[in-house]
Structures are given as C-alpha cells and as structure tokens.
C-alpha cells in the first residue's frame, strides 16, 4: 500500500499512520552532529573500564570478558513494601526492584557492530545468566534487559554496556504484549509472533537478514524509520530457555544487523535495544514468544533524526518511509563493518 494509510500493531494494540509522500518534503529541521567513533581502548576516567574506581568508591575488577554489577544510581531499590488498597482517582504505590549494569567488553572502544561474533555470544551468555539468577527472586515479576547506544539515545557513557532493570510489577509495555499474545494463544493455539513470522517470511518484503534460528525484520507496524525486531523461529518465552546453538545464532544475527545499521549512514548507529520476554513468577504464560526490539532514531542521514512530537504525542504514531523501503535499504547494506575494527 503506497498511499496514506494506517497499520495495526497486534502486539501493542495500537495503530501507526504511514505517510510515504512526506519523504519528498524539504528538510529544514534540526540536524545533529553525527556520532564519532571512540578509538580509545582504555579510558582512565571511565567508570566502566577494568580497574577503575566508580562513583561509589568501589573498584572494578580487571575483567577480561563481561562484567555485571549493581547500578550505583539505581532507579529501583530492593525494598518491597505492602501495597495500599486503591482509593480515588489519584493513586500512588511503592515500587521495588533492582538495576544492574552489564559491561559487554573491557575494551572501551568497542560497539556490538565491531565485536567478534564470539564476543557477542559472551554478552548473550551474560544476559542468560543474569536473567536466570534474578528470576529466582520470588518478588520479581519482570526482567527488562536493554541497551541505549549513542548520545542521541541518552547513553551517558560510550563504554559498551547495557542495563537490566527488574521490577516487582509488570511494566505497561510488557503487560500489553502479555495480554495480546495470551489472547492470540487462547483463540488460535498458536504464538502471535510465530504466526506473524510465517506471514513475514511468505512476503519477504520486510526481512533484513535471517539464519537457521532467528529472523531480523522491519515490523509491518514499525514506528521508528529503521526499527527492527529479532524473532526466534522456535517458540519459547525467555532468553533463559535458549539453547547454546540459539545463543550462537543470535550472536551472528546481532552482528549482521548492527553492522548493517552502521553501514546505512556510515556512522556508529544510535539505538535503544531491548529484550522482551515473559514476566517471571507470574504462573504459566504459554503464549509468550521471546523477541528483541531495536528502536533507532535516524531518518534521512547520520545527522537527521525522527522526532516523536506533536501529532505522535497527542494522537498516534506516524512514519514517513514505509517499512518495506526501510527493509530494502538495510538489505542493500553489505554485511561488512562500515567502520573496521582497530
């Protein structure tokens, strides 16, 4: 569909407006300074580098692969409290949890797109271990693993790292995905994302890259210009259920996808990336299908980004470039590093 239309997102239960003709308009908006690659393998001022002292006075070990620690400025604190009975319209309640920092590598200059596949596999195994460990805490209900890459997406430190936030309640986005996937499972006996993946592979228009265990695609309902999802072919609820072979395959597809991102505008591509997986300690959720979201802001070049403002904030999401065109551009990017490793 090439004219103005809207598309339904069955995961979030929202519509997105698609206006392809707007890509022809002249751009006179804000242009950001393109991201620059940091070639420094060790920064004595970085609080994530091995052997350095963090803000709380603790010293990082001389780690050689990955490293995880409790966030020194955690947004959630591990102190569950009784919840008051809701009264009235204006409500507030305590929220407990924990936050961890997940360092991907001791090398300050690396990004996922410049890491060897084996190094990315070590990161996935870190996610795996952290998820399984924290899922054992009985009052935790959701484990969100994510990464903000680049200053444009709010990363406060360029050292390669992600975060884990675990809540005693299920956050809104995960709650909606839980509801939509459970409804589809109850109605059809099939996974919503497995059914979606079957349609996507039959079409092929929005597939970016794939291997024997995973598919990376621009969702039919994507909001961000070059938004992608990584979906496993096998139906399982969390990274804690992945096999070693699936860990390896996920590492390969994350390497390929992030390399394509960097190649698109020949810049270290900013994004927010996250793992969506079944809430924990919530009873059986057979409809849940593990997946990953990539939300990159760049629109036309390394310096022009998409803003979700005005209509998007007040009415519904809107995009200009179609998901099919975005997928085609990512497919055209050769699977070689845009910025070669040092």
- Catalytic positions are 161
Helix H, strand E, coil C: the string for 87-156 is CCCCCCCCCCEEEEEEECCCCCCCCHHHCCHHHHHHHHHHHHHHHHHHCCCCCCCEEEEEEEECHHHCCC
Tokens of 13: 């239960």
Contact of 96 with 137, CB cutoff 8 Å: no
Residue 43 Cα to chain centre, angstroms: 26
Residue with tokens 């795996």: 128
Residue with tokens 């936050």: 99
115: left (phi over 0), alpha (psi -120 to 50) or beta: beta
C-alpha span between 205 and 217 (Å, rounded): 9
C-alpha span between 232 and 250 (Å, rounded): 8
Contact of 147 with 101, CB cutoff 8 Å: no
Q: Which of 227, 242, 236 is closest to 293 using CA atoms?
A: 227
Residue 229 Cα to chain centre, angstroms: 8
Other CB atoms within 10 A of residue 21 CB: 10
C-alpha span between 269 and 261 (Å, rounded): 6
Give the chain's length: 342
Q: Which of 35, 245, 255 is closest to 155 using CA atoms?
A: 35
């Amino acid at each position: 569909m090439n004219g103005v239309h809207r598309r339904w997102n069955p995961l979030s239960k929202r519509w997105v407006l698609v206006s392809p003709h707007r890509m022809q308009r002249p751009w006179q908006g804000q242009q950001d300074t393109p991201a620059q690659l940091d070639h420094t393998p060790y920064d004595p001022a970085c609080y994530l580098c091995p052997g350095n002292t963090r803000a709380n006075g603790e010293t990082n070990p001389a780690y050689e692969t990955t490293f995880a620690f409790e966030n020194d400025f955690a947004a959630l604190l591990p102190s569950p409290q009784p919840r008051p009975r809701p009264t009235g319209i204006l409500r507030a309640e305590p929220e407990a949890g924990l936050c961890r920092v997940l360092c991907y590598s001791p090398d300050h200059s690396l990004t996922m797109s410049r890491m060897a596949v084996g190094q990315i596999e070590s990161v996935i195994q870190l996610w795996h271990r952290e998820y399984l460990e924290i899922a054992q805490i009985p009052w935790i209900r959701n484990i969100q693993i994510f990464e903000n890459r680049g200053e444009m997406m709010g990363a406060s430190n360029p050292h390669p790292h992600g975060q884990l936030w675990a809540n005693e309640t299920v956050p809104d986005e995960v709650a909606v995905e839980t509801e939509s996937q459970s409804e589809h499972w109850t109605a059809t006996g099939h996974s919503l994302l497995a059914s979606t993946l079957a349609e996507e592979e039959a079409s092929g228009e929005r597939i970016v890259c794939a291997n024997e265990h995973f598919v990376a695609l621009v969702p039919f309902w994507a909001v961000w210009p070059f938004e992608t999802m990584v979906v496993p072919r096998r139906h399982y609820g969390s990274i804690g259920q992945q096999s070693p072979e699936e860990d390896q395959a996920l590492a390969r597809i994350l390497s390929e996808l992030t390399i394509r991102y960097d190649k698109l505008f020949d810049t270290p591509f900013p994004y927010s990336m996250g793992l969506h997986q079944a809430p924990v300690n919530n009873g059986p959720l057979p409809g849940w299908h593990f997946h990953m979201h990539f939300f990159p802001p760049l629109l036309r070049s390394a310096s022009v980004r998409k803003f979700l403002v005005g209509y998007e904030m007040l009415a519904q999401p809107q995009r200009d470039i179609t998901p099919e065109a975005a997928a085609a551009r990512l497919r055209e990017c050769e699977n070689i590093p845009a910025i070669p490793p040092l």
